[in-house]
């Protein structure tokens, strides 16, 4: 990172990050974790890189002791955020050409203290540069992602009998998330939709107070971390035999996934993979007479961020208002060593929904699935 920064005239790099307690709600954590292996959990932290030193500032005294595991090459201190500007100025000396990472998530109050202490600074955003460095996963990163995939498979296998315990759906989620934590996942968040007509991903207790009943659809998504790396998968089931229309929905997303998987190989544009999923799902839905469908993003990169930057932008987020979508991103080709999640999905109001999610490691000749649990509809 330092070489890339210095080539742009940067004299010091400041990297802001939240801890992993925000889960998929932050990307700054992934960048900071990549550069320092720092996890400030519920607190915020800032990394200062110069050509000679690596220094961490923690905002919480209760997280500060965790930095002892980072080793002797990283110095650290606890400083209230109200004094971060002063602490940074003392560390960087006369440097005023400053690279920044994660500053889109920097709280305004902290930004104001930094601007007050460094009014003459010139800021150079390095987020895209670091994102390109993170795209290709080395052997250790792949091992962590594969371990995470194994934990996802274990949760998929555990789910069917839990659905017959006659308890609220949110308690089933809690059991599964606890299992993942007990088996060495540092973080786990699930969504579980169990309804006669699945309508959306349901994450929270207040939307999952119902008890499973015969005839319900089951859509289950897992997102967890191992050593900071995100594993992710989605599977489908049914309380008793699945209805014919729900089987048809499953067949649409299953065939979309198979088509995208076959095309996912080095040099294929990731935006082209997204187009394959979109065209397949929308064409099949129209043929079935379903014109009013909802979909969330058909895929994204996986790594130290749940949605790896740059890679994830290749997949359009259809969920929510279309007016807030940005311009098309610069195309990115698939490369050997990338890890992605593909999850074609559709929801038809009043009828039901379907989603399948698969982790892929891109190899020299194509995409290799990392999950092992069957994609067929399971019966609980």
Does the CA dihedral 173-175-176-181 come out positive or negative?
positive
- 126: phi then psi, degrees, rounded to nearest 5: -115, 10
Based on the domain organization, do 44 and 90 belong to the same domain? yes
Tokens read off for 338: 């990338």
Taking residues 340-346, report their average pLDDT.
99
* The pLDDT value given to residue 289: 97
The yes-or-no verdict on residue 323 having pLDDT over 70 is no
The yes-or-no verdict on residue 357 having pLDDT over 80 is yes
Taking residues 268-287, report their average pLDDT.
98
**Total tally of structural domains belonging to the chain:** 2
R_g of the chain, CA atoms, integer Å: 22
Which residue is it, tokens 């489908």? 236
Measured from the Cβ of residue 175, the count of other Cβ atoms closer than 10 Å reads 16
Tokens read off for 35: 């550069």
* The pLDDT value given to residue 64: 76
**pTM for the predicted model, two decimal places:** 0.96
Based on the domain organization, do 228 and 96 belong to the same domain? no
Report the side by side order of strands in the sheet with 54-58.
75-78, 54-58, 44-49, 12-18, 97-101, 122-125
Based on the domain organization, do 102 and 159 belong to the same domain? no
The CATH number given to whatever domain includes residue 49 is 3.40.350.10
Measured from the Cβ of residue 65, the count of other Cβ atoms closer than 10 Å reads 11
Based on the domain organization, do 56 and 175 belong to the same domain? no
Domain that holds residue 60: 2-134
Taking residues 217-236, report their average pLDDT.
99
Taking residues 167-186, report their average pLDDT.
98
CA distance 65 to 46: 15
Taking residues 32-46, report their average pLDDT.
94
Based on the domain organization, do 337 and 236 belong to the same domain? yes
Q: What is the pLDDT of residues 41-97, one digit of tens each?
A: 999 999 999 988 999 999 999 987 777 778 778 899 999 999 999 999 999 999 999
Based on the domain organization, do 151 and 127 belong to the same domain? no
Based on the domain organization, do 182 and 74 belong to the same domain? no
Tokens read off for 37: 């292996």
- State in Å, rounded, how far the first CA of the chain is from the last one: 49
Cα 15 to the center of its chain, rounded Å: 19
Based on the domain organization, do 201 and 93 belong to the same domain? no
- What are the helix and strand counts (H, E) for the chain? 9, 16
User: Which is higher by pLDDT, 327 or 276?
Assistant: 276
CA atoms within 13 A on the CB side of 352: 24
Decide which of 134, 162, 184 is a domain's last residue.
134
């Amino acid at each position: 990172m330092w070489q890339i920064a210095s080539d742009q005239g940067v004299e010091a790099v400041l990297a802001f990050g939240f801890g992993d307690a925000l889960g998929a709600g932050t990307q700054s954590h992934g960048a900071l974790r990549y550069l320092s292996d720092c996890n400030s959990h519920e607190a915020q932290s800032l990394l200062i890189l110069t050509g000679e030193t690596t220094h961490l500032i923690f905002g919480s005294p209760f997280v500060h002791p965790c930095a002892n595991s980072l080793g002797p090459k990283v110095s650290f201190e606890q400083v209230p955020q109200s004094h971060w500007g002063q602490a940074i100025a003392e560390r960087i000396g006369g440097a005023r050409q400053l690279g920044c990472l994660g500053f889109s998530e920097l709280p305004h109050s902290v930004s104001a203290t930094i601007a007050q202490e460094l009014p003459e600074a010139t800021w150079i955003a390095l987020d895209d540069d670091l994102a390109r460095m993170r795209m290709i996963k080395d052997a250790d990163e792949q091992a962590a992602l594969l371990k995470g995939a194994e934990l996802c498979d274990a949760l998929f296998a555990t789910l069917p009998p839990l659905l017959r315990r006659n308890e609220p759906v949110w308690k089933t989620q809690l059991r599964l998330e606890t299992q993942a934590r007990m088996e060495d996942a540092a973080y786990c968040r699930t969504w579980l939709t169990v309804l006669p007509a699945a309508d959306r991903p349901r994450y929270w207790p207040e939307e999952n107070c119902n008890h499973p009943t015969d005839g319900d659809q089951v859509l289950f998504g897992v997102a967890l971390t191992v050593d900071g790396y995100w594993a992710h998968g989605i599977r489908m089931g049914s309380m008793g035999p699945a209805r014919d229309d729900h089987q048809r929905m499953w067949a649409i997303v299953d065939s979309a996934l198979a088509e995208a998987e076959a095309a996912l190989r080095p040099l294929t544009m990731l935006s082209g993979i997204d187009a394959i999923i979109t065209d397949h799902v929308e064409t099949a839905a129209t043929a079935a007479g379903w014109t009013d469908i909802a979909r969330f993003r058909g895929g994204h990169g996986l790594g130290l961020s749940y949605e790896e930057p740059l890679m994830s932008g290749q997949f359009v987020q259809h969920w929510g208002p279309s007016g807030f979508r940005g311009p098309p991103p610069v195309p990115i080709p698939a490369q050997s060593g990338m890890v992605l999640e593909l999850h074609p999905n559709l929801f038809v109001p009043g009828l039901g929904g379907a989603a399948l999610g698969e982790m892929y490691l891109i190899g020299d000749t194509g995409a290799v699935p990392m999950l092992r649990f069957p994609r067929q509809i399971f019966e609980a």
